[in-house]
Amino acid sequence: MAGALAGVLIMPTAPALAGPYDNLPDMGEAIDRDISLAEELAMGDGFMQALKRQATFVTHPLLNHYVQSLGERLAGASSWNAYPFHFTVIQDDSINAFAAPGGHISLFSGLILRTDNENELAGVMAHEMAHVTQRHIARMIAGSSAMSLTTLAALAAAILVGGSNPDAAAAAVNLGIAGAIQQQINFTRDHEYEADRIGIQILSGAGFDPEGMVSFFEKLARQEGDGFYVHNELLRTHPVTTNRIAEAANRARAARPSKVFNQPDYAYAKAALAAQLDPRPLATAGRLEKTAEDRVSLYRRALLLGRAGSHEEALAVLQGLHDKARDNLWIGTALAETLQRMKQDDQAIRVLERQLALFPGHPILTMQLGRLWMAKEPERAYALLRQAVRENPRHTGLLHAFADAAGRAGRRAEHHEAMGLFFIQERRLPEARAELETARALSAGDTISRQRIDALIDRVETEIIEAQRRKEEHS
């Protein structure tokens, strides 16, 4: 977005690195050869594993579910079907976002908090997704070296977050590849315009107002003029030019759909994020006590009170909101969490059961309710979460909860199989293989389960062997 995003500025002679996330970019430019989807996915795995070691991710389950759902709505309006998109939120106040190989897209919390509506947030996401659908990203990294693609992606991640891991960044510099990676990661003007154009098409097809992309451009341009983000690489390396804004505005007006649909979830997601990251929750809650009148502001105040340890006051606010809006998912889950913190599990269970009746199969509600049932009714939790995993087989939170429920219910083989599936989704393949081998040993008398687990082990071993082969080819 708005020059999305800055190129890596680290050269072999660079004396120092800036902040830990100053230089996280989009990466992309066509190269002389095509790369396979398997290579691209391997690059994405390497990049994200390195990033997870160095970045702090927002863990709010409902917020992450909202961002992923928003991305999936956009993906449905694109022509991309090679692999799914994965969306994460990095806890950092910078206005930034980036796409990585394999469909991984990360938004910085500072960017989300500075959007004014869902159309602006969707505009950022659609722009990043366009870099993926045009395959700008993986090809660029792949063309930078004959090294192992996974190693290269990991080194790129180390450079991009080098401020928090200077040893890793220095190693890349000493290898003499930092300059090469910089050349491959920097975006061209044509790529930015293409991402704008494709992003606007995605927005329109998904029922968003493409003007949201333009209004965010304009916001960044105004802030650049004020000098507020003079040190922000997003603006400094790829400025939001007048021509770019004008062209995007023309395209957005022409592409505006006849009906625009925005979800009320956006306001609650933003409030939840602001409350979770507020450095002075009690002081902010005190200010909101004087000004909060609308439901979203009161919800934010309740979350702040909870963070400050004022659970009874938070409960009173949330109960009042819930009585007037029993179909509000954000208020209901926050009320259940507050009741649970106050050791009122039975009341929390009743709230979640009512919510699940309104939102059948919702993965976050199911996960929360299943975990509450585990202590007293592990078989009931097991049955609920087993069905949820069948409906959401790639949901890591549900997989982990189901594994715990199976263990609590004494179903050891299923516990280890579920943990194996969890590690597969996390791309921690050696750990996945170990869990699945344990599950296989515990399933000796169950032919069907053993055949299923054998197939999973074969799949994992094939991926491990293929990764090793790619490493040897490029070493």
Task: Give me the amino acid identity at 402.
Answer: F
Q: Is the pLDDT of residue 239 over 80?
A: no
What is the per-residue pLDDT for 35? 73
Where residue 252 falls among pLDDT bands split at 50, 70, 90? confident
pLDDT of residue 175: 45
Q: What digits encode the pLDDT tens for the residues 35-49?
A: 778 778 887 887 888
Which residues form the catalytic set? 128
Write the pLDDT tens digit of every residue in 7-24: 221 222 222 233 333 333
Cα 20-234-110 angle, rounded to 5 deg:
65
Mean pLDDT taken over the chain: 81
Query: Tens digit of pLDDT for each residue in 182-232?
Result: 444 455 667 778 888 899 999 999 999 999 888 888 887 776 544 444 444
Compare 272 and 3 and report the one with higher pLDDT: 272
Name the pLDDT band for 385 (thresholds 50, 70, 90): very high
Q: Which conformational region is residue 311 in: left (phi greater than 0), alpha (psi within -120 to 50 degrees), or beta?
A: alpha
What is residue 5's predicted lDDT score, i.e. its pLDDT? 27
What's the pLDDT tens digit per position in 420-435? 999 999 989 999 999 9
Determine the average pLDDT of the residues in 248-255: 80
Which one is predicted more confidently, 335 or 147? 335
Rounded average pLDDT over 317-335: 97
- Greater model confidence, 171 or 267: 267
* Per-residue pLDDT at 435: 98
pTM for this one? 0.84
